[in-house]
Amino acid sequence: MERVYRMTVASVYVHYVTKLERKGRTTAELNRVIEWLTGFGDTELTAHLDRGTTFEDFFEQADLNPDASLITGVVCGVRVEEIEEPLTQKIRYLDKLVDELARGRAMEKVLRS
């Protein structure tokens, strides 16, 4: 996971966008999910993407949503609620939210509201 921690958010973000657009979802929806999870609005998110912020720094600076612990399920064969390493769990939370969007889940359910 050390390699993933050092990856830039921007390098993965483009793959999230591609995945979601193929499934009929929008970049705005992706950004909304990221804002819900991290507290970063569009301006802050764009700044992180432009700066090449690593996942480690990105989540270190994030104000994680208190309801993030409600994100459950399997990503890459691992239950996200059982991941013990905090940074890995945060990254997998984001992956899980993107997966739910791609599957067509309603935004209200994705955002646990």
Domain segments of the chain as ranges: 2-108
**Spatial separation of the C-alpha atoms in residues 96 and 57, rounded to whole Å:** 20
**Spatial separation of the C-alpha atoms in residues 71 and 80, rounded to whole Å:** 7
pLDDT band, very low/low/confident/very high, at 48 (cuts 50, 70, 90): very high
Helix (H) or strand (E) holding 44: helix 42-51
Pick among 1.10.8.290, 3.60.110.10, 3.30.1490.100, 3.40.920.10: CATH of 2-108: 1.10.8.290
As a whole-number percent, the residues of the chain with pLDDT over 70 amount to: 100
Mean residue pLDDT of the chain comes to 96
As a whole-number percent, the residues of the chain with pLDDT over 90 amount to: 94
Predicted local distance difference test score (pLDDT) of residue 99: 96
CA dihedral 28, 33, 35, 41 (to 10 degrees): 0
Q: What is the pTM of this model?
A: 0.94
Q: What is the pLDDT of residues 6-37, one digit of tens each?
A: 999 999 999 999 999 999 999 999 999 999 99
Question: Please, what is the Cα angle at 33 between 93 and 92, to 5 degrees?
Answer: 15
